[in-house]
Structure 1
Amino acid sequence: MEKNTRRRSIATTLAGLAFAAAPIASAESKAWDNDPDGVKVFILAGQSNMVGYGKTEDGGNPEWEKGKKDVPKEIKGGVRCLREMAINDANYPEYDYASLLEDPSQPQTSAWKTRSDVKLWWRHGGSGKLGGQIRKGDLGPLTSTGNWFGPEYGFGQIIGDYYKDDEVLIIKTAWGGRALASDFRSPSMVKHRGGEVGPFYKAIFDYSHEVLDKLGEEFPEWKGKGYQIVGFAWHQGFNDRVSKEFAPEYKDNLPDFIADVRTEFGNPDLPFVIASTGMGNAGPVEEPPYEGYTAVEKAQLWATGVGKPAKVLSIDTRPFWSDPKDSPSTMGHHWNHSAESYFLIGKSLADRMVTLLEE
């Protein structure tokens, strides 16, 4: 895409979204806190798969999977919803899913645990628009949307266990259908390749300020406490992956984005973890150098010749793909709504984050 064409495209996007935008906080925002004894803050950002569509109670119907088309695809407690995974915990050795229940001895009926030591704050971005309703509270599978969960759920389990003596806040800044090349376009991308700074890039920091500048109001139990921004997690890329214009640029846009995020948060070494865009029938799992992977996946896995910044780790998410016949749905670009896929993405992001924190 020519630079002038991109400028027009982004200007159109900005104009179309202006009516939905939340108030911009930057001009009046406080400086970022950096209290080592404060709440540990993680920013989770991206598009719809960071929004999250992991099914909590509804899963795939085994009868439908047998080819019976006169039965519903999804049923309560069906395959690869979180409930089924807790009931059949032995079939999912990668995590103790029964431990997520209030009463593991009654997995079919037990309520889900929430964690008061790990909290979530999110302006609902499932519609792809700015200015959504605030969702916040103790982390649980229903905290984010009331029905589904995203990578924050698995991420919060690992990080919460890691910070045994600290409190954790996850700020989710995620919106459906948004591209790095336009919507999340950062200042360095503009400097190097033209265009305009994207409104969703700005919103990452505006929304973070919105909660952190008044932390004691948003979470009264933390009144008087400081905070420390500890890490950033990124799961995004589908819109870039399917764009002939945006996909080749991702390898250059991603390191610019990382550098700008770190500059904005005032930490050039801020730990940064990335979950690749391996959903939606991307293809079979490969070993490096990922010859058969898409341009965006290669960029996310640093297989394009562009140098990987320090304190950055990526995960190949293709191993987390669940076949449609064994999943709650056939919506490939949303991981077929598999609770296992979303949980493992979050868990793996957290595992990589812990590795960086311990370096």
Structure 2
Amino acid sequence: MSRLVVMQVLIIVAMAALPAVSKADDTYQVFILAGQSNMEGKASNELIEHQATDPATAEIFSAFRDGDKWAEREDVSIKFLNRHGPLTVGYGSPNKTGLELAFGTAMGEYYDEPVLLIKTAWGGHSLYQKFRSPSAGLPSDEVLQAELDKAQEKTKKENEKRNRNDPLPTMEQIKAEYGVSYRNMMTEVEETLKNADELFPQLKGKKPHIAGFVWFQGFNDMFGDYATQEYEQNMKFLIQDVRKAWDSPKLPVVIGALGQNGSKPAAENMKAIQDAQLAMNEVPEFAGNVKTIRTDVLVDKTAEEKFPTWKENFEEWKLVGSDRPYHYFGSAIWYTRIGNELAKTMLEMKGSR
């Protein structure tokens, strides 16, 4: 199957009714990809290299190849913290790849203008705390005081255990952790766009247009006394705040719902986060411009089936997976499916506006 036909299978057939995108020589399209470790991307480059050359799976990755090598797209650039360049493999966690490869490829095929992906992702960061946006405010004084007491008690025990005299955490330090990743995300976007001419010479003289926001996060919000029950409201606040910050009241937003349960029913807290994310599909003000997709239904069943005995059959396992279930088995196929579905959903929303 040719590369063009593969792309039609992934995107074009599903969006045949979308209007053509006119060329604007003076702009480029910007997509913000935000979240925690699974937005970073955890499919090992060794695995994706194998599957891209294995006849049984090569077709899945053919859209990202240029002959026998990985394509480096001239029309799609990416910035992920201290790395930047043309879109290709390896823009996940070190020596890994994530959903950005499939998502960015789809955007590049769709737009005549250049595309820039800005990925702002940090493992282990919750929406309740670090990604908390301004409209959510701070938790109650009672909650903050309990957190401070716990942190101070922990430091005291560590000091006694290690014969140290580290200062006790302060309330200011406790409060500062709330929203730190949200603020870092905003700074990363601002700094990248300010320095785009230098980082990406092909964009010099062009103006950025923030075209969409992709959110793939939720695992750490399954833990704690308040995170799960506040997730739905905090998700609304996040969407509203990024739109306000980027002066785009109807900015298209696509959310990848927590899906590490795969083929199995989600457990209690995971289902609570899934339900909170899927609830965005029912918010009246978000109709037509915010969409949550399920990621569990995209599961790589081969990796899922082989994981329970991965230690005993490691040589077989490493040909299908490269990480734990909480990282979607490090499955290049699962991450690719997620990236494709997020892209398709994003473009469907744009086509309906």
What's the TM-score, normalizing by structure 2?
Answer: 0.72
Deviation of 1:85 after TM superposition, in Å, equals 2.9
Superposition pairs of residues 1-359 of structure 1, within 5 angstroms: 37-57=26-46, 81-88=47-54, 91=57, 96-103=60-67, 110-123=68-81, 134-145=82-93, 147-163=95-111, 165-190=112-137, 197-279=178-260, 281=261, 284=264, 294-302=271-279, 309-310=286-287, 311-322=289-300, 323=304, 324=307, 327-329=320-322, 331-359=324-352
3-state SS of the aligned residue for 2:70? coil
Deviation of 1:82 after TM superposition, in Å, equals 1.8
The 8 Å contact of residues 100 and 113 in structure 1, kept in 2 or not, is answered as yes
The 8 Å contact of residues 285 and 319 in structure 1, kept in 2 or not, is answered as no
The 8 Å contact of residues 89 and 96 in structure 1, kept in 2 or not, is answered as no
Deviation of 1:151 after TM superposition, in Å, equals 1.4
Tell me the distance in 1 between the aligned counterparts of 2:37 and 2:348. 26
Deviations 1:191-239 (A, max 9, x none): 7978755111011111101010122111122211111000000000000
The 8 Å contact of residues 42 and 232 in structure 1, kept in 2 or not, is answered as yes
* Counterpart for residue 154 of structure 2: none
Residues 312-321 or 145-154, more deviating: 145-154
Alignment: residue pair count:
279
Deviations 1:280-323 (A, max 9, x none): x466269xxx9996111111111897657231011111123331
* Counterpart for residue 22 of structure 1: none
Deviation of 1:334 after TM superposition, in Å, equals 0.9
Tell me the distance in 1 between the aligned counterparts of 2:248 and 2:322. 41
Tell me the distance in 2 between the aligned counterparts of 1:284 and 1:153. 27
The 8 Å contact of residues 299 and 334 in structure 2, kept in 1 or not, is answered as yes
Deviation of 1:179 after TM superposition, in Å, equals 0.2
| 294 and 238 in structure 1: CA distance in 2 versus 1, 3 angstrom threshold | same
3-state SS of the aligned residue for 1:302? helix
Deviation of 1:240 after TM superposition, in Å, equals 0.1
| 185 and 98 in structure 1: CA distance in 2 versus 1, 3 angstrom threshold | same
Considering only aligned residues, what root-mean-square deviation do their CA atoms show, in Å?
A: 2.7
| 182 and 312 in structure 1: CA distance in 2 versus 1, 3 angstrom threshold | same
Tell me the distance in 2 between the aligned counterparts of 1:185 and 1:295. 18
| 117 and 98 in structure 1: CA distance in 2 versus 1, 3 angstrom threshold | same
| 191 and 259 in structure 1: CA distance in 2 versus 1, 3 angstrom threshold | farther
Deviation of 1:335 after TM superposition, in Å, equals 1.0
**What runs of 5+ residues in structure 1 fail to find an aligned partner?**
1-34, 58-80, 104-109, 124-133
Question: Percent identity, aligned pairs only?
Answer: 35
Deviation of 1:248 after TM superposition, in Å, equals 1.1
Deviations 1:50-93 (A, max 9, x none): 01111221xxxxxxxxxxxxxxxxxxxxxxx323432345557x
3-state SS of the aligned residue for 1:230? strand
The 8 Å contact of residues 328 and 336 in structure 1, kept in 2 or not, is answered as yes
**Radius of gyration: which is bigger?**
2
Deviations 1:105-163 (A, max 9, x none): xxxxx32111111010111xxxxxxxxxx100000012445511111111011111111
Bigger helix fraction: 2
Tell me the distance in 2 between the aligned counterparts of 1:51 and 1:292. 23
What's the TM-score, normalizing by structure 1?
Answer: 0.71
Tell me the distance in 2 between the aligned counterparts of 1:256 and 1:146. 31
The 8 Å contact of residues 114 and 203 in structure 2, kept in 1 or not, is answered as no
